[in-house]
Amino acid sequence: MIALLAVSVVTLGTLGLGTWAFRFARTTSDLFVASRAITPWWNAAAVSGEYLSAASFLGIAGLAMKLGMDAIWLSVGFTAGYLTLLLFVAAPLRRFGSFTISDFVEARLGSPRMRLLAATIVLGIAGFYLVPQLKGAGITLGEVTGAPYWVGVVVVGAIVAVNVGLGGMRGITYVQAVQFWIKTFAIALPACLLLIYLGGLPHRSALFGADVPRAPAAGLTVKLQSPKTVTFPRATGYRIGPVERHARAGQKVTLPSGKLVLPPGAAVPLGSGVERGPGVVWARPVGHNGRDGPLFVYSLLIATVLGTMGLPHILVRFYTNPDGPAARRTTVRVLGLLGIFYLFPTVYGLLGRVLAPGLYVTGQTDSVVLRLPHLAWPGVPGNLLSALTAAGAFAAFLSTASGLLVSIAGTLSYDVWGRVRHGAVGTHGRRLRFRFCAVAGIVAPVLIALAAGNLDIGVLVGWAFALAASSFCPMFLLGIWWPRLSARGAASGMIAGAAVASGGIFGGLVAGENVGGAPGALLSQPAVVSVPIAFITMIVVSLLDSADPVDAEPMMLALHAPEGLGLEELEQEPAAPAGAAREPAPA
C-alpha cells in the first residue's frame, strides 16, 4: 500500500511537473534558448537522469544475482561510455549544432537519403531500449499491486504515450535532473541502511565460498504460477502442495504450479539460466568460457563503451549545452554522477543472492531491487524501503521511456512520414502527426515486452547498445574526425554493422542457451565482431568511393573551430534548416 502510494506520487509528480514546466517553454527554440542558462551541473544531472533506466535500476542487480559478478561489468561499461563520448563526440557535436542523429547524418554527409537509413536504425535502437523499460514497469507494478505482468506493461505504455503525446516531460532539463536525484536516493539509501542493519554481508560462504544459496531459518515458501524446471544443487527434501518429496544433488525436476516449501537451510533449487556453481564460481567477474568468459566480457565492454554515443535520447540532451567546452564539462560531471549511482546495483546483487533466494526458483531475479528490502528487514522499515525502491524504479522507466518515445515519435513523424508524404503541413498538422506517431510508436515495443517476459532486462539493453555501437558509433567517430568519410561509405558501414549485430542477437534468441563456448558468447553479445566490421566497411567503401566527395572543409570548421572567433555566422549551420523546419515535439 505504501509502495503503491510512493509510485503514484512519483508518477503524478513527474507528469505534473513536466506539463507545468512545459508551459514555460512553448517552442523548440524557447526550450533551447532557455536552456542556455543551465549550468553544467544541472545539465549533467539531466543527462544522467534520462540515462538511468530500468536496466540500471533493476537489470544490473538482477543479472548479477542470476549470473554472478560478471554482470557488474555492465555498470562499468554504462559509465565508461561517457568517457568515449567526451573524448570524441561531445564538443564537436555541440559545435556542429545538430541535435538529432538524423540531422547530423544528413548535414555531415550531404545526403538527404541517408536520413531514412539513420531513422530506421534510430527506431531499432529506441525500440530495443524501450522494451526493457516496459518489462521493468510490468514487474514493478506486479510487485506493488499483485497485478499480472501484462497489466503493468500496458498501463505504463499507455501512460508514457499519453504523456509524450500531450507534451509532458520532454526536454525539460530540471525535471530530468530531479529524476536523477530521486533514482540515486532511492537506490542508495536502502542499500546503505540494509548494510548497516545487517552489519555487512551475511552468509559469505554462499557469496564467495563453497556454499550455495540456502533457505532462511524460517524455511522458504515460493508460489509457482506455472510449472518450472529447476535444478537442485544439493540433495534436499521439499514439499510441493501437500506432497513431500526428495531431490538428489544435481537432479533436474519439473515442479508443477503451486506452493513450494523448503525446510530451513535447504539448498534452493535454481531455475533455468541461473548460475549453478557455488559462491566462489558465482563471484568471479571473469569466468572461463562461454557467457561469462573473457570474450563475452570484452564484447560487452565494447558494446557499452561505444554504444552510448549512439543513443538517440541521450544525444538530444547535449544540445542544451551553450558551447563545446560546456559540453565537455557536462560530460565529466556525468561521469562523476553515474559513478555514484553505479556503486549500488552491486550491493543488491550480493545481498539478493543470500536474502532473496526464492527468486532463483522462478528465475525472476529482475525484481530483486524491489523485493530485497522487505525480505532483509521485516516489518515497517523494510516495507518503507521497498516502497522507496519501487518509486525509484518507476522514475527510472518513466523518464527513459518518455525520452525514447519522443525520439521514436519525432523520427516517425518527421523523418519517415514527412519524407514519404510530401506537402505543406501546418503547425497543427505537425502536432497531430506527432501525437499519432507517439501512440503508434509504443505499440510494437508493448507487444514485444509482453512476449519477452522471460528475457532479462540487462540482456535486452545490452542488445540496444550493441546495435548503437555497430552503426552510429563508427559513423560519428569517422564523420567527426575523418574528412574523407563519404555518404556511401557511411551507409554501407552502418548497414553492415547493424545487420551483423541484429543477426547475432536474433540467432542467439533462436538458438537459446544451447550454444556454449565462444559461439554462444558472440551470439549473446556480437559487438566484438560487428563493430570492427562496421568500421572497416566504412573506411574501405569511402576510400573506393569515386563519387564527388562532400567538401569537408566547412564541416571540419563547424565541428572543431573553437567558439569566440566570430566565425559563427560563417559556420555552415548545417542543421539550421532541418532544425528550424523540425519541431521534435509539438509546440
Partner 1 sequence: MSPSPVGRRRTPRDELAEATAHGGLYLRRLVRAQLALSLLALVAFAGILGSLPLLLFLAPALRHISVLGLPLPVFLVAFPLFPLFVGLGLIYQRRADALDEAFRDLVGR
112, 148, 336, 577: residue in contact with partner 1 (rule CB under 8 A): 336
Q: Are 523 and 496 in contact (CB under 8 A)?
A: no
- Quote the least distance from Cβ 11 to partner 1, whole Å: 30
CB 442 within 8 A of CB 405: yes
> What does the block give as the cell for 166?
500531450
Mark the segment that binds partner 1 (CB under 8 A) among 118-126, 341-349, 366-374, 494-502.
Answer: 341-349
Neighbours of 532 (CB within 10 A): 15
Of the candidates 33, 147, 192, 286, which one interacts with partner 1 according to CB under 8 A? 286
Closer residue to partner 1, CB minimum distance, 31 or 297: 297
User: Is residue 560 a contact residue for partner 1 (CB under 8 A)?
Assistant: yes
Residue from 241, 256, 285, 378 touching partner 1 (CB under 8 A): that is 285
Q: Is 481 in the site for partner 1 (CB under 8 A)?
A: yes
Query: What b/e string do you get for 37-59 counting C-beta neighbours within 10 Å, with b at 16 or more?
Result: ebebebbbbbbbbbbbbbbbbbb
Does residue 328 belong to the site contacting partner 1 (CB under 8 A)? yes
Q: Is 41 in the site for partner 1 (CB under 8 A)?
A: no
Alpha-carbon distance of 182 to 14, in angstroms, equals: 11
**d(Cα 516, Cα 523) in Å, to the nearest integer?**
10
Burial class (CB in 10 A: 0-12, 13-18, 19+), 176: buried
The bridge status of strand 236-240 relative to strand 258-262 is antiparallel
**What is the per-residue DSSP string for 64-77?**
HHHH-GGGGHHHHH
Site for partner 1 in 147-186 (CB under 8 A): none
Mask: binding to partner 1, 67-106, rule CB under 8 A, as x and -?
--x--xx-xx--xx-xxx-xxx--x---------------
Decide if residue 298 touches partner 1 (CB under 8 A): yes
Q: How far apart are CA 321 and CA 298, in angstroms?
A: 32
Measured from the CB atom, is 198 or 444 closer to partner 1? 198
Closest to partner 1 by CB, 201 vs 499, is 201
# binding residues, partner 1 (CB under 8 A): 57
Region of 101-109, 116-124, 294-302, 498-506 interacting with partner 1 (CB under 8 A):
294-302
* Helix spans in 482-586 (H): 487-511, 517-524, 527-544, 552-560, 576-581
- Dist CA 327 CA 563 (whole Å): 12
Minimum CB distance to partner 1, residue 72 (Å) = 5
User: Which three cell numbers, joined as nine digits, stand for 94?
Assistant: 555541440
**Of residues 112, 148, 265, 294, which one binds partner 1 by CB under 8 A?**
294
Residue 346 near partner 1 by CB under 8 A: yes
CB atoms within 10 A of CB 276: 12
343 binds partner 1 (CB under 8 A): yes
Which residues are at the interface with partner 1 (CB under 8 A)? 69, 72-73, 75-76, 79-80, 82-84, 86-88, 91, 200-201, 208, 280, 283-286, 288, 293-294, 297-298, 301, 305, 324-325, 328-329, 331-332, 335-336, 338-340, 342-343, 346, 481, 553-554, 556-557, 560-562, 564-567, 569-570
